[in-house]
Each structure stands twice: as C-alpha cells, then as structure tokens.
Structure 1
Amino acid sequence: MPWYASMGLMIGLILSLMALRIPVAFAFLLANVIGVFIFMGGHFGLVQLAANASESLMNYALLPIPLFILMGELFFHTGIAERVFFVVDRLMGRVRGRLSYVAIGGGTLFSALSGSSLGNVAMMGSSMYPEMRRIGYSDTLSIGPIIATGGLAAIIPPSGLAVVLGSLASLDVGRLLLAGLVPGVLLALGYAALVWTLTIIRPQTAPDYDVPQTSGREKLRLAVVNLLPMMFIIFMVMGLIVLGIATPTEAAAFGVVAVMIVAAFFRRLSLHAVARAAESAMKISGMIFMIILASTTFSQILAMSGATRGLVGWVNGIDASLPQVLVAMALVLLLFGAFLEPVGIMLLTIPVFLPLAQSYGLDPLWMGVFILIFIELGLATPPFGMALFVMMGATEGKSILAISRAVIPYLLCTLGLVVVISAYPQIVLFLPSLAGR
C-alpha cells in the first residue's frame, strides 16, 4: 500500500470515528486495532499492542501530569485564584483599561499555577467579565484578553499539555517546560501592549471610572502578603528545575505541597477543598492516561506502514523550503483545532511533524513549543475553538460572531510571536540550554 494511502486510511479512520461522537481514546483504540491487522500481522500485532499499552503507562515521565493538575485544582478550589485577581486589580490603580491588564496579569499568573487553558477562561469569564460589562468595556478589551490569556496555560509552565507532548514525543519534559516560559511571558507582554494601543486609539472602549485610592504603603503590603507566596509556588516548581535540584516529577510534587502551604497561610485550606480538588484531578488525569494508552501504537503503525518515512521523503523530494513546511504544519494544526481536543491533535501530528522537523534540522524542543502555541491558537480560533464556547457560557447571550471578533486581534498578536521565534529560535532554546549545563 502506498504511504499516502496508509496515512490517509489511519487518519481517516480516526476522524470518521470522532465524527460519530466516539470519544478520542476509544476512536484511537479501534483505529489502532484495525491498523494492527492491516500493517502488523493480526494476532501478533494485537499482542504487541497490549504490551506497548502497559509499557506506555509505566513511564516515569507521566507522573507530573496528575500532580500538576492537582496543583491547579487546589489553587482554584481553595480560593487563592480570586485573591490574586483582587490584589492585581488594587495594584493597577486608575490606569485606563486596568481590568484588561488585570485579566492579562492575573490570567498569566494563574496559567503558571494551574496549567488549565479552559479552566482559566471559565474562571476569568465568570469572575471578571460581568464587572467589565457593567463598567462599559468593549468586547475587544473584555472578552479578548480573557480568552487569549487563558490559552497561555498551554505554553507557560507548568503546562500539563507540555508534559503530555514531551512524553509522547520522548522529549526531556523539564527542558520542554522551560522552553515555553520566555515565549509565554513575551506573549503576555504583547497582549498588554495591544490593550495599551487600543486604549490610546479608542479610549471610549475602556471608560474611565472612580476606583478606591490605595496608598503606596498599602500596595507594598498587598504585594508582599499576597504575591510573594505566589512567587514561592513558582520557584518551587520552575526554580527547582532550572537549578537542577529537582526533576519535573519532584518539582510537581513540591508544587502541590507549596500550594497547600500557601492555602494554609491564607487560612483557606480545608478538607472539603482538598477532596474536591483531588476528585477533579483524578477525573482529568484518568481521561488523559486513557488517551495516552490508546495512542501508544499509532506512531508505530504509521512507521510500520511507511507513512512517516514516505511523507518525509516526499517533502524533501519536492524541495519545499522550511518556511513553507512550517506554514503547512500551522494550517494543519489550526484545522485540527477546529474539531479536535488538544491531546487528540498531538496524537495525530507528533508522529509526522517531529521526524519532518528533524529532517530540516529543527530542534525538537523548538518544534514542541511551536505545536503548543498553535494548540493554544486552535482553542481560540473561530468559529469552533473550545475556548470560544466556554466564554459563551460565561457571557450569557454573546454570539459566537461577537466573541470571535473580540479575540481576532490577540490571535494576530500570537502569530506575530511565532514569526519572532522562527527568526530567533534562541528565544525558545535559551533557558533549556542553561538547564542542560
């Protein structure tokens, strides 16, 4: 069977099963069973499939996933997230468009502490949008920053998606987490610059209004009491990885303990909050592990059928330039983002994209960040991005068209970052290179 027929058969099977509303994990399992009979020799292939499935879940690199998820759930259920937004709001003072900056600043910090993109959008949408609407903020300065900043959780560590991607692609998870830090921060600064520009060009989109005056001493007290503990949590995760003191798994465990210490410090730690966080983390982790189990043979089947090797050879044969290949990859990721969840996108693209990228001499860590950025874009890309529908629930009445218009400037800002890191890949690779020394 030609390589393109093999690839078309496998991907077509999975997409067809998903179109029938079969869950991602079971769609991959069923497609893999069919692929095993076609390409791996029937019964022998099924035995190998079962062996690979058990081995895939006994992977030490997967341990950070439930720990990072638990960390984010504790951060939300103990009420620490609400405290962060309140403090950032008070520190901003009377700056025009301050609630947009609060959404960006608080959302970025929450991304670094939760790792959940859709959770970010849901929390900020329900807590911040009603106040922004009441004051008279435009959709671009209220809905846009909430959706855009929510997606940063896919890039800024500790990102659960980065751990999944690193595990599936056999990359160093710790270095991949570090690789997303600088692009994520730059993206947040880009969103802030966009808000500043919009408030200068069209000040009526962010009405001025009276806010409580806060003295310099009070601002300092708020920052020390409320934000320094957040820095402690971030240090316990990323700082220990950068310093080489802890592995990603150990750092994730330290992060859970750090959140519990901070929650106890604020007197918000309770058995009820811990139980709710643990229950939610178990459900999400179980779903992710089921998908990983179902995906174990997909890349092997593509390799056995010659699809991966054939695609790489075909691209090299047509002499496509690197920018053309990256644009093609980006379009595929955005297309899949319209109807697939992030993990499903990774399962379909990693077995093909990484060998292709390496054939062009691209660093696998850089390629991992590239994929994560476009997964983040896919969550917010009109008209089917999942973050848009989450925001629809929070706004209660806004149409998908209005929400889409509000987020488009921020999507363009994200594409600008992709151009920058493509021209200067060291932006992505600098921190991982320090950790590797």
Structure 2
Amino acid sequence: MEWWVFLSTFFLGLTGLMLIGLPVAFAFLAVNMIGVYLLWGGFNGFNQLVLSIDSSISTFILVPIPMFILMGSVMFHAGIAERMIRVIDQWLGFISGRLAVLTVGAGAVLSTLTGVAMGSVAMLGGTLTPEMERRGYARTLAIGPVLGSGALAILIPPSTLAIVLASVGGFSVAKMLIAIILPGILLAIMYVIYILIRVKLRPQDAPAYEVPSVPLSVKLRDTALYLVPPVMVVVMIVVCIFTGLATPTESAAIGTFITFFLAAAYGDLSLAKLKHALLSSTKLSVMILIIMTGSASFSQLLSFSGATGAITTWATALDVSSITLMLMMMALVLIVGMFIEQTSIVLITMPIFLPIIGAMGWDPIWFAVVMMVNLELATITPPAGLSLFVMKGVAVPGTTMGQIYRAALPFILINILLMLILILWPALALWLPSLM
C-alpha cells in the first residue's frame, strides 16, 4: 500500500468514526487495528500492537498525569478554588472592569489547580458571567475572559497536556513544565491589558459600580489562610522540578499528598467529596491514557508505510525559510484544532512533526511550547472548541453560539500574537529551562 493511500484512508476512517459519535480513544484504537491488520501480516501483527500499547503507557514519566488531575480535582471539589477567587476579588478593589480582570486572575489560579480548561470555564462561567451580566457588562466582555482564562489551564503548570506532549515527543517532562511558565504568565498579562484598553475605550462595556470596602487586616488574614497555602503547593512543585530536588513524578506525588492534607485542614474533605474527586479524576486519567496508547502504534504504522520518510523529505525540500515552514505546521494544527480536542491533535500530528523537527535542527522544547499555545486555541476556536459548548451550557439564558464565537475572537487573536512572539523570540520559551 502506498503511504499516501494509507494516510488518506487512516484519516478518512478516523473522521468517519468520530462523526458517528464514537469516542476519540476508541476511534483511534479501531483505525490502528485495521492498519495493523493490513500492514503487519494480519492477526500476527496484533501481538506487536499489544507490545506497543504496553510500552506507550508503562512508563514512570506518565505517573504525574493522574497525580496532577487528582490534585486539582480535590482542590476543586473541596472548595479551595472558590476561596481563592474571593481573596483575589478583595484585592482588586475599584479597578476598571474588575470582574473581567478577576476572571483572568481566577482563571490563572484555577489553571494551577485543575489543569483542565473545561473545568475552569464551567466554574468561572457559572459564577462570574451571570454577575457581570447583572452589573451591565457587555455580553462579549462577560464571556470572552472566561473562555480565554479557562484555556490558561493548558499553558500554566502543572499542565497535563504538557506532560502528554512531552511523553509522545520524547522530550524532557521537567523542562517542558518549566518552559511554559513565562508564556503562560505573559498570556494572562496580555489578556488583562486587552481588557483594560477595551474598558478605557468603551467604558459602557463595563459600567462602574460600588464595591464594599474590605479592611486591610481582613485581606491579609484571608490571603494567609486561603490563598498562600494552595499557591505554595504549586510553587513547591515547580521549585522541586526546577532545582532537580525531585522528578516531576515525585513532585506530583508530594503535591497531591499535601493537597489532601490541606483539604482536611480546611474541614472540607468529606467522604462524598473525596469519592467524587477520585471518580472524576480516574475517568479523565483513563481516557487520556487510552488515547495515548494509540500514539506508539500510529507512529510505527506511519514509519512502516513510508509516510514518515516521505513527509520529512517533502517538508525539508520546500523552498521556504524555516520560520515559514514552522508557520505552515502551526496553521495545520490550528485548522485541525477547530474540529477535534487537544490530546487527539498531539496524537495525530506529533508522529508526523517529530522527524521534521529533527531534520530542521529545531529545539524540541521551543517547538513544543509554540505548539502548546496553538493547542490552547483548540479549546476556544469555532466551530467545535469544547470550551465554547461548555460556556453555552453555563451561560445566562438567551446567549447564542454566535455571541460566544464573537466573544472568543479577541482572545484567539491574542493567542496567535503570543505564538508569533514565541516563534520570533525562542528565548522566551528556552530561558528558564536553560537555567535548570
């Protein structure tokens, strides 16, 4: 079978299975099994498929995925996240567009706790969006910051997707988690700058209102009790990874243990909440790992069919600059991200991109960080960004998908701007990892 016939058949079959409603993980498995049967000698090839599946997930570096998901789930269900948002709100005072700015700040904080964009969007959209609408905010300004800040969960450690991407690409998980810190912070700052400029130019989009004054002593007390401890858990994880005191897996285990202790100290670790946190984190972890099992076999099938070598030869022979080639690859990811979720995008594209990265001599961490910003877009790009549908479910009655799409557009453009900045200035992604 010609490589292009295999590749076309693979993607057509995958698309067809997903269109009829089959979960992504099982769609990948089904298409991979057909490819193995056709290319690896019938049923005998399934032995190799089993070995590929086993080797793809039986690795120590993947342990942080369920650990970080469990840590975020416990913090979320124990009410720690809600307390943190209230403390941040106390400090914002009378700033213009304070609720929209609060959304970004809360989204950044939730990102360090949940690591999942849809969870942040559901919580912020269900609490802050109705409040902004009640205060007279323009609907697009009430929705947009929720979508943008929810996507920060992908770009601020501990990011589950960063671990998945590093594992599939064979990169350093530790360097990957450290490399996304500066871009994540910069993106949050860019969101806030956009909101402040918009409110300055269009004050009617965020009418001013009276805010109850909170004594400084109360602010300091609540900050010490409800903001500092959970933030210090994340800081401890990052410091341990950065300094080499612990591996990402060990850091995740320590952080999860301290999170349980913190939830118990707040008196919110009830049996019902613990059961709910364990169940939700287990479901999400298993789904991610099932999707990852398709990576090794898909990569091997690509190589066996000749697609890997042919695509690499074609890409490196193009009469374009390396930046142009990078932009073409990112454009492909952006288009694919309009229709499927991020983990699936990693599984589809990385086996194709990895040989090109090596042939072009690019730093894999730099490429991965740029791709992470692009993957962040997949949650909010029309027509099928998952966060868009989550937002529709929690938005005030009468909100249309058209309004949600328009609200997402400025934040999509900000993400694209950050992606261009990272492509032109790789040091922004590589400086912190270089100090490790």
Shorter-normalised TM range: over 0.9
How far the C-alpha of 1:330 sits from its partner, in A, is 2.1
Amino acid at match of 1:246: A
After TM superposition, the structure 1 = structure 2 runs for residues 25-424 of structure 1, keeping only pairs within 5 Å, are 25-395=25-395, 396-424=397-425
Give yes or no for contact 1:4–1:310 (8 Å, CA) kept in 2.
Answer: no
| 1:114, distance to aligned residue in structure 2 (A) | 1.3
Question: Would you say how many aligned residue pairs link Structure 1 and Structure 2?
Answer: 435
Offset at 1:60?
A: 0.9
Give the stretch that moved more between structures: 118-127 or 211-220.
211-220
> Quick check: 1:85–1:106 contact (8 Å CA) kept in 2?
yes
Given that residues 26 and 294 in structure 1 are in contact (C-alpha distance below 8 angstroms), is that contact kept between their aligned partners in structure 2?
Answer: no
Which whole-Å CA distance do the structure 2 matches of 1:15 and 1:180 have between them? 31
In 2: Cα distance, 1:95 partner to 1:33 partner: 57
Measured after TM superposition, the shift of residue 239 of structure 1 is 1.4
Moved more, 320-329 or 410-419: 320-329
Q: Unpaired runs of 5+ in structure 2?
A: none
Q: Distance in 1 between matches of 2:408 and 2:43?
A: 50
CA distance in structure 2 between the aligned counterparts of 1:255 and 1:114, rounded to whole angstroms = 13
Conserved in 2, the CA contact under 8 Å of 1:236 and 1:254?
A: no
Are the equivalent residues in 2 in contact too, given 1:354–1:367 (CA < 8 A)? no
Kindly state the Cα deviation for residue 246 of structure 1 after the two structures are TM-superposed: 1.0
Residue pair 1:166, 1:173 contacting (<8 A) in 2 also:
yes
Percent identity between the two aligned chains: 40
Contact 1:3 1:311 in 2 (8 A): no
Counterpart of 1:431, as a letter, is L
Looking at structure 2, the residues matched to 147 and 242 of structure 1 have their Cα atoms a distance apart, in angstroms, of: 30
Q: Give 1:12's aligned amino acid.
A: L
Q: CA deviation at 1:9?
A: 2.3
What SS class does the counterpart of residue 379 from structure 2 fall into? helix
Per-residue CA shift, 1:337-382, capped at 9, x if unaligned? 2221211111100101122123222211112122221111011012
Residues 80 and 226 in structure 2, CA contact (< 8 A), matched pair in contact too: no
Instruction: Output the amino acid matched with 1:354.
Output: L
Deviation (angstroms), 1:122: 0.5
Contact 1:69/1:114 (<8 A) preserved: yes
Shift of 1:317: 1.8
Q: After superposition, what is the alpha-carbon deviation per residue over 1:260-288, rounded to whole angstroms, capped at 9, x for unaligned?
A: 23223322222222121011111111111
**Correspondence for 2:429:** 428
Q: Is the 8 A contact 2:339 2:383 kept in 1?
A: no
Q: Check whether the contact 2:117–2:150 (CA below 8 A) recurs between aligned residues.
A: yes
Deviation of 1:244 after TM superposition, in Å, equals 0.8
Residues 118-177 of structure 1: per-residue CA shift (max 9 Å, x gap): 111011111111111100111232111110010011111111111111111111111111
| Greater Cα shift, 19-28 or 81-90 | 19-28
Give the whole-Å Cα distance in 2 for the aligned partners of 1:165 and 1:337.
Answer: 15
Which stretches in structure 1 are left out of the alignment for 5+ residues? none
Check the 8 A contact 1:377/1:411 in 2, yes or no: yes
Deviations 1:240-260 (A, max 9, x none): 111211111111111112222
Partner SS, residue 399 of structure 2: coil
- Range that drifts further, 268-277 or 67-76: 268-277
- Partners in 1 of 2:33 and 2:407 — Cα distance? 43
SS in 1 for 2:378: helix
**C-alpha contact 2:13 2:31 (8 A) present in aligned 1:** yes
Alpha-carbon offset, residue 310 of structure 1: 0.5
Tell whether the 8 Å contact from 2:69 to 2:281 is kept in structure 1 after alignment: yes
Q: Which amino acid aligns with 2:412?
A: L
Report if the CA contact (8 A) 1:162-1:372 is conserved. Answer: yes
Question: CA RMSD, aligned part only?
Answer: 1.5
- Partners in 2 of 1:318 and 1:116 — Cα distance? 37
- In structure 1, give the amino acid aligned to 2:415: T
Q: State the alpha-carbon separation in 2 of the partners of residues 318 and 362 from structure 1.
A: 16
Listed one character per residue, the Cα deviations across residues 382-434 of structure 1 (whole Å, up to 9, x for unaligned) are 22211111101111321111011111111111111111111111111112222
1:146 aligned partner, one-letter code: V
Q: Output the CA distance in 1 between the equivalents of 2:288 and 2:128.
A: 29
Q: CA deviation at 1:328?
A: 1.9
Contact 1:35 1:301 in 2 (8 A): yes
SS at match of 1:12: helix
Q: Distance in 1 between matches of 2:211 and 2:172?
A: 47
Using the size of structure 2 for normalisation, the TM-score is: 0.96
CA deviation after TM superposition for structure 1 residue 214, in Å? 2.0
Q: Which AA in structure 2 matches 1:316?
A: T
Name the SS for the 1:309 alignment partner. Answer: helix
User: For residues 151 and 42 of structure 2, what CA distance do their matches in structure 1 show?
Assistant: 42
Aligned AA (1:426): A
CA contact (8 A) 2:183 2:429 kept: yes
AA paired with 2:296?
T
Match of 2:23 in 1: 23
Deviation at 1:25, TM superposition (A): 1.7
Question: Letter of the aligned partner of 1:227 in structure 2?
Answer: L
